[in-house]
Structure 1
Amino acid sequence: MTELLEYFAKFQNLPVDAKKALTEICSNFSIKKNEILQPFGHTCKTIYFLKSGIARIYYYKDGIDITEHFAFEGSIIARAESLFTGKPSQKAIQILEDAEIIAINSTQLFKLYDTFPQIERLFRLIFEAAYVDAIHRVEGIQFHAAEERYLALLKETKIVQKLPLKYIASYLGITQVSLSRIRASVK
């Protein structure tokens, strides 16, 4: 749980009793590359922290696999629209590299909000940061060329080069051919 508590500390320091309460609602598990962490049509009731590995959120549009989000080691991943509405998601979470995960039960987490306002504030800060990241992604698509979006993704993490080109291309909203051209020009 050390990695998870260090991640939380980036947003807010928690008192010992709040840390203890949080770790009691968490569980650790491993999952293999290409396995589905959350399937389509699933109602999200878990927030996942990637101790190691890579995951993606994806969906299908007109039969085409589209990557919406990548999550890398040391980050949180969840289907927020399902988590907060209680409705099944039309998106899935797939593991792209063997992963060690800490699962946080959201039902129990939300109950802790009443007892520990610091935990509620912590998760508000985490979700606010995720919202801002989502806005930046939309703005990137609206205002920046594909090459700029690719370079921004590379700045985020070099691990991106380990991902299949089809996932990177769909994330950037371009074809694999265009991505290959961009990669060749930035080397």
Structure 2
Amino acid sequence: MKEFITHINTIHSLSSQAEKALRNICSEVFIVKGKELQAIGNRCTNIYFVVDGLLRIYYLKNGVDITESFEAEQALVARADSLFDARPSRKGIQALEDTQLVAVNTPRLFTLYDQYHDIERLFRIVFEQAYVKTVERIEQLQFHTAEERYQNLLANAGSIVQRAPLKHIASYLGITQVSLSRIRAKF
């Protein structure tokens, strides 16, 4: 819990009352490697903070498993499509390593917004950052070659390459494992 509070205070500082209220709606969660944190088709009712470990967000397209993103230490993770619309998510969240998390109960979080404007501001900033990350990801896929995307992954999240299975890395980059092997051979 300490890592979570420290992290969010680097995004936006909370009053001691707001911090206490936020702590009261959080719980610690542990998920083992290979297990689903959230299965496709379930509603998202938590925002997760990764204390230690590695998750991937994925979806199925025509029966093919596609990795949308990797989320490691200090990441805040949620399925926005489900979180805000209260509908089943089209995406799942899976642990690629044993993962320790802090879960923030979002129905309770949203009720705190009116009472603690610093909490509301904090999560507005969090969601703005997530939006920017999504736009950057779309631009990577649209405007960069597979090799450039791999170089970007190495530069910005190099530990993922060491920690995630190659099939998920290839899927994330939008290429086959054979193409990924060719690209990796160049480095």
Class of the TM-score when normalised by the shorter of the 2 chains: over 0.9
Residue in structure 2 matched with residue 66 of structure 1 by the alignment:
66
Distance 1:138 1:29 in 2: 31
Measured after TM superposition, the shift of residue 169 of structure 1 is 0.6
Residue in structure 1 matched with residue 177 of structure 2 by the alignment:
176
Residue in structure 2 matched with residue 119 of structure 1 by the alignment:
119
The one-letter amino acid paired with 1:136 is: E
Which sections of structure 1, spanning at least 5 residues, go unmatched? none
Q: TM-score normalized by structure 1?
A: 0.97
Q: Aligned to 1:42, what secondary structure does the other structure show? A: coil
Distance 2:126 2:29 in 1: 22
Residue in structure 1 matched with residue 101 of structure 2 by the alignment:
101
Q: Aligned to 2:28, what secondary structure does the other structure show? A: strand
Distance 2:132 2:29 in 1: 29
Q: Aligned to 1:33, what secondary structure does the other structure show? A: coil
After TM superposition, list the pairs within 5 Å mapping 1:87-98 onto structure 2: 87-98=87-98
Q: Aligned to 1:70, what secondary structure does the other structure show? A: strand
Distance 1:57 1:100 in 2: 16
Distance 1:21 1:149 in 2: 41
Distance 2:85 2:93 in 1: 18
Residue in structure 2 matched with residue 41 of structure 1 by the alignment:
41
Measured after TM superposition, the shift of residue 58 of structure 1 is 0.5
Distance 1:132 1:182 in 2: 27
Over the aligned positions, Cα root-mean-square deviation in angstroms equals 0.8
After TM superposition, list the pairs within 5 Å mapping 1:19-168 onto structure 2: 19-160=19-160, 161-168=162-169
Which sections of structure 2, spanning at least 5 residues, go unmatched? none
Measured after TM superposition, the shift of residue 159 of structure 1 is 1.7
The one-letter amino acid paired with 1:182 is: I
- Once the two structures are aligned, what percentage of the paired residues are identical? 52
Distance 1:45 1:108 in 2: 10
Measured after TM superposition, the shift of residue 74 of structure 1 is 1.0
Distance 1:4 1:40 in 2: 26
Q: TM-score normalized by structure 2?
A: 0.97
